[in-house]
Copies of this chain bind each other. A is one copy, B any other.
Amino acid sequence: MKRLLIMASLLGATPALADEGMWTYNNFPSSKVKEKYGFAPTQDWLDKVRLSSAKFGGGCSSSFVSADGLVMTNHHCARGCIQQLSTAKKDFIANGFYAKTQAEELQCPALEVSQLLDITDVTEQLNAATKGLTGKAYADGLKAEMAKLEKACATSEQFRCDVVTLYQGGKYNLYKYQRHQDVRLVFAPEQAIAFFGGDPDNFEFPRYDLDVSFLRVYGKDGKPAKTEHYFKWSEHGAKEGEATFISGHPGRTSRGLTVSQLETLRDMTLPKTLFRLSEMRGQLTEFQTRGAEQKRTSTNLLFGVENGLKANKGKLEQLSDKGFFAQKVAAEQELRTKVNADPKMKAKYGSAWDEIARAQQTYRDLRKEYESMENGLYSQLFGLARSLVRAADELPKPDAERLRGFNDANLPQLKVQLMSKAPIYPELEVLQLTFSLTKIREELGTEHPFVKKVLGKESPRALATRIVKGSKLADLKVREQLLSGGKAAIQASKDPLIQLASLVDPDARAIRKRYEEEVDAVVRKNSELIAQARFDVYGTQIYPDATGTLRLSFGAVKGYVEDGKQVEPFTSMGGTFGHATGEEPLALPKSWLAAQKTVKDTTPMNFVTTNDIIGGNSGSPVINQNAEIVGLVFDGNIQSLGGDYGFDESVNRAVSVHSDAIVEALQKVYKADRVLQELRPGATSAKGGSGL
């Protein structure tokens, strides 16, 4: 990845140039878009697009595409649900799923789709609540005020409210969501075409994936929710050069981080993450060869691991680029020089960078224990056990004093997670727990008191096997009793997972507290100052780093140059057949091979646009200026991975499924008429049984 980087984000300076920016809906640069693309989104347009967009589960995006609650997202976003609904005999991951009637639509075990109803700026309230505070007092003050605002906003269980930290704390906005918790699967293609090319093709372009799925949100009455706001389907799909907008939930970017924070990422966090993911990938790859059922149950996890690996490798590569890093250093130096040149600004902001650097050093010192004790143990069951143990301690406290995630505003979501019917696979549980226990021992050493306390005389595998075998937490009723029974029930429980979670919790809380007070609070406080310095120096027409909240980006359908060669912006359905070898991950499903003759070869399959996106944008609608669907984001190209730290319009590309490919496949391959009719009421379609 060698390229010339000229990025507004790097300089942290001038308003974003070119197609850069994941803009908030309350600070969208319509006039800039008009200048470049001749179209200025109006407030009405923005409102409609915002309300037709939806957050999907924990880390994806989606859109409403009919008046009856039909939701479109990626296959890989719904994969968790699809796998949870599958059994050894009915494998919807391998074979796809299509509900021919509404009655056949299957409810996802634990999934929430939410719509951003309202944004309120609460910066002043937060600043007032933390004025003059530092360290623990600052962290507590911030947490308490956030919980208070969220609680006041979430007036019923159908709403969720989050105080969102923007510009590293330069602004705080209160986001109010409409929650949809009854979400049912309508259509999913086979994994073989949804993730055609598998890990080797992931983050690459040209690409040939039908990474789409349809679900439907239902109301409390058990009927499809009526959705006033939704996107209509474009008649012609995306064309080369056409302006495109992407509305979704980019998870996280780090463009505003200081150099010392980027160094921590480059020298420690990213390498450590990659070592862990690489090893887990090896384990899962080998685990998959044990048998068909092991393969089925671990595919989703393996996908996540491999996806994370590629994404984080791209990030590390970007930060290891000397030229790029030098630009980051220069940009920080420029801002600091400007701040120091003004005595007032100097007094207010001057020490913020060094404070953050010191907090980085504290983090380096705490890291092993923090990551081992607070984040080191994981598996589906352990996650449940810890939530139950912590709920018992937290829920009796006043709202403002609880750990984040246990506030009143979070309770509905917590209950959904704890009471999820998602299947639990013991063999995979043992694998994950063994792995996480082994890593803790590796990090802290065989003689560390925490390791001795957790392992006793057992090996990681023996301990993991014993507690998974002995635990009853897979039983919903047991979890219900433990949740409603509170502290007494937890203390009386002989469940080995509850006991393990209880055993480690005091250490985990203690180190977490130190982390929050000595690292997190210092970073937050001083990041806020730097963000304010940036506003003072460069003005407010800049976008904040991604935070998993709804954003709008603009761009156009456009190819790029890679290794001296032109990469065309479209692939075709014909090319899809040409790319197949017949062997996984380049084997097409039977339905496609059967339909090959009827599919129109020239139909665009995937395409790229210059929109600035990042992980979390998966499932975002790509729309034209009429707010019609022209595509569905499912990936970024390999060059976009460095986008975490800066955007380069010459090569960063969002990769999407073309809307025409979705229609052609639904029509010719899957004969999914019911979905097609709903997407394009009035349009004609082929008749015949489903290809699935």
Q: Which residues of B contact A278 (CB under 8 A)?
A: 274-276, 278-279, 282
How far is A282 from B442 in the complex, measured between Cα atoms in Å?
14
How far is A536 from B441 in the complex, measured between Cα atoms in Å?
50
Q: Is A584 an interface residue (CB 8 A)?
A: yes
Q: Is A462 an interface residue (CB 8 A)?
A: yes
How far is A313 from B271 in the complex, measured between Cα atoms in Å?
10
From known contacts A271-B274, A459-B584, A583-B458, infer whether A200 and B442 are also in contact, taking CB-CB under 8 Å.
Answer: yes
Q: Which residues of B contact A267 (CB under 8 A)?
A: 320, 322
Q: A216-224, A283-291, A393-401, A490-498: which one contacts chain B? A: A283-291
Interface 1/0 per residue, A259-287 and B, CB below 8 Å: 00001000110010011101111111111
Q: Which residues of B contact A583 (CB under 8 A)?
A: 457-459, 462
Which of A267, A286, A446 has most B Cβ within 10 Å?
A286
How far is A204 from B166 in the complex, measured between Cα atoms in Å?
44
How far is A200 from B283 in the complex, measured between Cα atoms in Å?
18
A425 to chain B, nearest CB (A): 15
From known contacts A263-B322, A267-B320, A282-B283, infer whether A457 and B581 are also in contact, taking CB-CB under 8 Å.
Answer: yes
Q: Which residues of B contact A282 (CB under 8 A)?
A: 278-286
How far is A579 from B268 in the complex, measured between Cα atoms in Å?
31
State which residues 514-549 of A face B: CB under 8 Å: none
Smallest CB gap from A459: residue in B: B583
Interface 1/0 per residue, A140-173 and B, CB below 8 Å: 0000000000000000000000000000000000
Q: Which residues of B contact A456 (CB under 8 A)?
A: 581
A434 to chain B, nearest CB (A): 9
Smallest CB gap from A285: residue in B: B283
A276 to chain B, nearest CB (A): 8
A205 to chain B, nearest CB (A): 11
How far is A68 from B646 in the complex, measured between Cα atoms in Å?
68
Q: Which residues of B contact A276 (CB under 8 A)?
A: 278
Residue from B201, B271, B287, B455 in contact with A316 in the complex, judged by beta carbons closer than 8 Å: B271
How far is A181 from B285 in the complex, measured between Cα atoms in Å?
40
Q: Which residues of B contact A200 (CB under 8 A)?
A: 441-442, 445-446
A256 to chain B, nearest CB (A): 22
Q: Is A586 an interface residue (CB 8 A)?
A: yes
Q: Is A199 an interface residue (CB 8 A)?
A: yes
A199/B442 in contact, CB under 8 A: yes
Q: Which residues of B contact A274 (CB under 8 A)?
A: 271, 274-275, 278
A201/B442 in contact, CB under 8 A: no
Q: Which residues of B contact A604 (CB under 8 A)?
A: none
Q: Is A197 an interface residue (CB 8 A)?
A: yes
Interface 1/0 per residue, A582-602 and B, CB below 8 Å: 111010000000000000000
A196 to chain B, nearest CB (A): 11
Residue from B287, B313, B445, B581 in contact with A286 in the complex, judged by beta carbons closer than 8 Å: B287
How far is A442 from B271 in the complex, measured between Cα atoms in Å?
19
B446/A586 in contact, CB under 8 A: yes
Q: Which residues of B contact A579 (CB under 8 A)?
A: 446
How far is A691 from B260 in the complex, measured between Cα atoms in Å?
58
How far is A581 from B455 in the complex, measured between Cα atoms in Å?
10
Q: Which residues of B contact A280 (CB under 8 A)?
A: 282
A582/B322 in contact, CB under 8 A: no
How far is A360 from B389 in the complex, measured between Cα atoms in Å?
54
Smallest CB gap from A199: residue in B: B442
Interface 1/0 per residue, A203-227 and B, CB below 8 Å: 0100000000000000000000000
Smallest CB gap from A197: residue in B: B446
Residue from B275, B322, B582 in contact with A275 in the complex, judged by beta carbons closer than 8 Å: B275
Residue from B197, B279, B322, B462 in contact with A281 in the complex, judged by beta carbons closer than 8 Å: B279
How far is A204 from B263 in the complex, measured between Cα atoms in Å?
27
State which residues 225-283 of A face B: CB under 8 Å: 263, 267-268, 271, 274-276, 278-283
Smallest CB gap from A320: residue in B: B267
Q: Which residues of B contact A283 (CB under 8 A)?
A: 282-283, 285-286
Smallest CB gap from A583: residue in B: B459
Which of A197, A199, A274, A283 has most B Cβ within 10 Å?
A283
Q: Which residues of B contact A322 (CB under 8 A)?
A: 263, 267
How far is A285 from B283 in the complex, measured between Cα atoms in Å?
7
How far is A419 from B623 in the complex, measured between Cα atoms in Å?
66
A660 to chain B, nearest CB (A): 24
How far is A637 from B79 in the complex, measured between Cα atoms in Å?
46
Q: Which residues of B contact A284 (CB under 8 A)?
A: 282, 286
Interface 1/0 per residue, A428-449 and B, CB below 8 Å: 0001000000000110011000
Q: Which residues of B contact A204 (CB under 8 A)?
A: 445-446
A582/B287 in contact, CB under 8 A: no
Smallest CB gap from A460: residue in B: B583
How far is A7 from B582 in the complex, measured between Cα atoms in Å?
58
Smallest CB gap from A581: residue in B: B457
How far is A142 from B200 in the complex, measured between Cα atoms in Å?
41
Interface 1/0 per residue, A567-589 and B, CB below 8 Å: 00000000000010111101000
A185 to chain B, nearest CB (A): 29
Cβ-closest 3 pairs across A and B: A282-B282, A278-B278, A286-B286
**Can you pick out 9 interface pairs between chain A and chain B where the beta carbons lie within 8 Å of each other?**
A200-B445, A200-B446, A204-B446, A271-B320, A274-B278, A278-B278, A279-B285, A283-B285, A446-B586
Q: Give A contacts to B, CB under 8 Å.
A: 197, 199-201, 204, 263, 267-268, 271, 274-276, 278-287, 290, 313, 316, 320, 322, 431, 441-442, 445-446, 455-459, 462, 579, 581-584, 586
Q: A276-B278, A282-B285 are in contact. List 4 more A-B contacts (CB 8 A).
A: A200-B441, A271-B271, A271-B316, A446-B579
